[in-house]
Structure 1
Amino acid sequence: MANFTEEQLAQIKSALHKRYLELQAEIRSELVESSEEFNINQADDINNILADVDTALIDKQINEMRELEMSEKYLMELEFGDCADCGEEIGFERLIANPSAQRCIECQRKYEKTFPHESNPSL
């Protein structure tokens, strides 16, 4: 595990939790906005709502939520903060800015160049 102080770990955990709640609110808002465009009383409306929802955005948000859950699990198991590719420590500032970061900045750059079609959060 990366070498963080107890205070830094608490800040990272707080950032993880805050981002998770933000994503929940964004998904809820997207679903509410979509449902308001339709009359919910019609049996067919659920399919219309789901068809209208920006599923790519929600899918991205759900994937990030899963990454946050994994990051929190790793944090609790003291296996948190090391780059998935090179094994070096992911910087504290990076983890505060992007709590679900799996790679250091350099490895993330390489990853995005190798897999430009994937819609992962950028640096």
Structure 2
Amino acid sequence: MAQTPAEKYAELSIKLKRRYQRLWREVRSELARADAENYQDTAGETHDAGDQSVADVVVDVNLADVHRDIGEMREIEAALGRLVEGSYGTCIDCGGEIPVQRLYANPAAARCAPCQTRYEQLHVPSVGPSL
């Protein structure tokens, strides 16, 4: 027997909540580790340029991971909000239906694939020289 849309959305809701909890634990763990391990420990006692560069990169990567995870958590919160208000599965740009296959691949998806592509082309900064 095929699942009803409500059953599919209930399944996706569980998937969203589990992912959110996993991300929450990762962020808490990373922040606790960063708090326990200060820059001095990362760089070591010798402060040459190479050690400092490595320490800077390690700190930046850890913070980038936390920032990425928090961004995903916000997307999940928004998706759960759309579930509650009844607009989950509807593209926030064009109002069309987001295919359920896309929602299973990315339960926090807020846009249909064409609108997501257009959004990324308009909003994602190009990679290149910044000076």
- TM-score normalised by L of structure 2: 0.67
Residue of structure 2 equivalent to 1:23: 23
* Structure 2 SS opposite 1:90: coil
* Structure 2 SS opposite 1:100: coil
Higher Cα Rg: structure 1 or 2?
2
> CA shift at 1:14, angstroms?
0.9
Q: Which runs of 4+ in 1 moved over 6 A?
A: none
Encode CA deviations 1:58-83: one digit per residue, 9 max, x unaligned: 22322221221121122112121111
Residue of structure 2 equivalent to 1:43: none
Stretches of structure 2 that go unaligned for 5 or more consecutive residues are: 39-58, 127-131
Stretches of structure 1 that go unaligned for 5 or more consecutive residues are: 39-50, 119-123
Residue of structure 1 equivalent to 2:80: 72
Query: Which protein, 1 or 2, shows the higher relative CO under an 8 Å CA cutoff with sep ≥ 6?
Result: 1
Tell me if structure 2 keeps the 8 A contact 1:83–1:89.
Answer: yes
* Structure 1 SS opposite 2:91: coil
> CA shift at 1:17, angstroms?
0.4
- Establish whether residue 58 from structure 1 lines up as the match of residue 66 from structure 2: yes
Structure 1 distance, partners of 2:37, 2:27, is: 16
Structure 1 distance, partners of 2:104, 2:15, is: 6
Structure 1 distance, partners of 2:60, 2:67, is: 14
Higher share in helix: 2
Report the number of matched residues: 104
* Structure 1 SS opposite 2:81: helix
* Structure 2 SS opposite 1:54: helix
Letter aligned with residue 89 of structure 1: E
- Establish whether residue 113 from structure 1 lines up as the match of residue 121 from structure 2: yes
- TM-score normalised by L of structure 1: 0.70
Encode CA deviations 1:7-55: one digit per residue, 9 max, x unaligned: 10111111110110121122123223323424xxxxxxxxxxxx66733
- Establish whether residue 92 from structure 1 lines up as the match of residue 100 from structure 2: yes
